[in-house]
Amino acid sequence: MVLNKEKAYYKTVRRAISTVNSATTLNEKLDIIVRGTAIPMKAGVSLVLLDSNRTMLIHSLSWGLPQFYLHKGLMDAGKSFLEILTGQPVVIEDASKDSRIQYPEMAAKAGILSMLGIPVMLDGLAVGSIRIYAKELREFTSQDITFVNSMANLVAIALSNSLLRQEKEAAEPGTSLILVNPAVLRQARSVTFAHPSEEEFARILDFYNIEWVYEPRSFPLRWDGNNVTEMFTPDFYLPSLDLYIEITTLKQKLVTEKNRKLRCLRELYPEIKIMLLHKNDYDRLLAKYGCGPLAQTRAHGISRVLYSTIEIDDRVRALAEQISRDYAGRRPLMVGVQRGFLCFMADLIRQITIPVDIDFITISYYSANDHSMVKITKDMDLSVTNRHVMIVEDIVDTGMTLSRILNHLRSKKPASLSICTLLDRRARRIADVPLEYIGFEVPDEFVVGYGLDYREEYRNLPFIGIPNLEKAHKNEDSP
């Protein structure tokens, strides 16, 4: 019996080595490793990887585990198993009596009794774990541990060979390469989206380099005694923002049920942050990428003027006066982003009465592993270290691009960092970014003029207005 197990382990490792050295994708390699681990172990197996903040563990691939267990929620690396912290194998002989189980009720429901966690080590640092879930009380032998450790080492090799080399080519100088880029998790996991709109939204998050997890947790909403009769599973969780997002492309009159569930979730779980992304919000996000209904339309004139030239002049002057007072005795470095800020910054700095320096940042797409992502293509020429830096924006809506730029500038250790924006479209906010200076809080409308464009048109309008948009088609399919 022992000889048969040893033979099975040997064949599995040999097959996994061949896969790691093949031309298959990273996801395919890891899937074979996970399945190959589960079959001879006769147990459920999950590959969990640390998020980019190295605080939470995310199920990336699994075999033989029920869906409700996979949707139990993210795991705290400092509370679950602890093999990530120690870098050593962890054996849990009886899950019903061990405090290292973060979700004991879910483990009991899944019939899991014994567990084994082997860390995945990369450059001497734990980046994830292969976890074994047995439905009987099991004493894991040294042979079992050696086998799973070998498979964990192959996971590390697959990550390094298939992904980190590509990430190194795209990374900025000085950026750590150990699973800090969300692309690592994206390439490693297996995701089947329920609706095309969810996949499109995932690509938008990829562009902004925002880490996401698809349907990580199901929230019970109603019970009949001890039995759960209704649950709600949000579409996405964004670890860096601690935010759940539910997408709907339904007609407004059909969104009532989702709103009811969100209200119920907020009442039962007040600590959970969640937002509903409506069809109009979703269409406008897609339009930035040249796809979706709004991207197929053309503007025909201005339906109404939102802020006149006089109103803009008055507000810019008031902002300049406030900035001059706040930065008296200092020489701020004002940083513009992309092209939309040009009109605003040009008028703003002419009204500021203290010395200022100006610089610029530009961003663009780059391709990594068949995904488009955002990257800073032109960094600042002036040094940021120990400077009082102010980012100048034309408009802030989702906040995702701005969040990326803030992290980039913080890494350069400025003395202070603030944001001045002409327009704040708070209704569309996803990433929570601090705005110290705001010109106008703009309604949830598509706006052009005074540097803001629609497909490179209308930047030179002296006012800010709402264009007429003719939708070519609507997609009313629901996810």
List, by residue number, the catalytic residues. 397
Residue 284 in contact with residue 452, Cβ under 8 Å?
Answer: no
CA distances from 442 to 121, 418, 425 (A): 48, 20, 5
Q: Exposed (0-12), middle (13-18) or buried (19+): which is 254, by Cβ within 10 Å? A: exposed
Alpha carbon of residue 103 to chain centroid: 24
Enumerate the β-bridge partners of residue 76: 56
- Which residue in this structure is represented by tokens 């969810």? 198
Compute how many other C-beta atoms are within 10 angstroms of the C-beta atom of residue 290: 9
- The rounded distance, in Å, linking the Cα atoms of 446 and 465 is 9
- Kindly report each contact of residues 14-20 with a partner whose C-beta sits within 8 Å and lies 24 or more positions away, as own/partner: 16/151, 16/154, 17/154, 20/154, 20/157, 20/158, 20/161
Q: What are the residues whose beta carbons fall under 8 Å from the beta carbon of 340, sequence distance 6 or more?
A: 393, 394, 395, 451, 452, 453, 459
Residue 141: HSE in the Cβ half-sphere, 13 Å Cα cutoff: 8
**β-strand pairing of 56-63 with 44-50:** antiparallel
- The rounded distance, in Å, linking the Cα atoms of 25 and 30 is 9
Residue 190 in contact with residue 165, Cβ under 8 Å?
Answer: no
Taking the CA atoms of residue 71, residue 76, residue 77 and residue 79 in that order, the dihedral angle to the nearest 10 degrees is: -120
- What is the chain's alpha carbon radius of gyration, rounded to the nearest angstrom? 26
**DSSP for 153-221, written as a single string:** HHHHHHHIIIIIHHHHHHSPTT---SS-SHHHHHHHS----SSHHHHHHHHHHHHTT---EES-B-EEE
Residue 217 in contact with residue 78, Cβ under 8 Å?
Answer: no
Q: Exposed (0-12), middle (13-18) or buried (19+): which is 422, by Cβ within 10 Å? A: buried
Q: What are the residues whose beta carbons fall under 8 Å from the beta carbon of 429, sequence distance 6 or more?
A: 396, 397, 398, 399
